[in-house]
Amino acid sequence: MNLSPPKAMISIIFFACLIMLLLYLPTMLASNSPAADYIRCSPLQNNCISKQSPLGYLKLHITPDDLPYDKPISVVVSSDNPSIQQLTLQFKGRDMEMGLLPLTLSTSQPGTYSGTTGLSYCTLGDKMVWLAELTVVTPQSNYRLIFELNNEV
């Protein structure tokens, strides 16, 4: 088969792209997108606990537990998983986008991560249901835990 120079160049480019796709396809398919786990809890009852099997025991403690918008919010996460490399927390409104920035929690001692943040003012006041979205980075994967913080009993 005798190809003209432009057709030969197109064929070479096509086969090069095909080879690149075959080489990088496994990497693209094994993306590190976080798996999600949804936990309903109440900071007032101190029951924000996840026992997701790959992560083990993980507890979220928030102070003050009534989630005021006009005071600093202290967050402590306790875990029995030694392979956690990083924890990032972001508060979001369940029914209203609040656009808050993520907070990377620092390690104070093995298995304990903490940080301080604040909540945006919300016209719903104490009726607002907040989501604490926790991203957990481990060598194996990233995990996303969403704690629905509802203090109404």
How far, in Å, are 35, 56, 114 from residue 118 at the CA level? 26, 28, 14
Q: pLDDT tens, 92-108?
A: 888 877 766 789 999 98
Tell me if 104 sits within 8 A of 86, measured CB to CB. Answer: yes
Q: pLDDT tens, 115-145?
A: 999 887 766 666 778 889 999 999 999 999 9
In the prediction, which pLDDT does 1 show? 56
In the prediction, which pLDDT does 49 show? 92
Rounded to whole angstroms, how far apart are CA atoms 89 and 60? Answer: 10
Rounded to whole angstroms, how far apart are CA atoms 70 and 41? Answer: 22
Name residue 125's amino acid. Answer: G
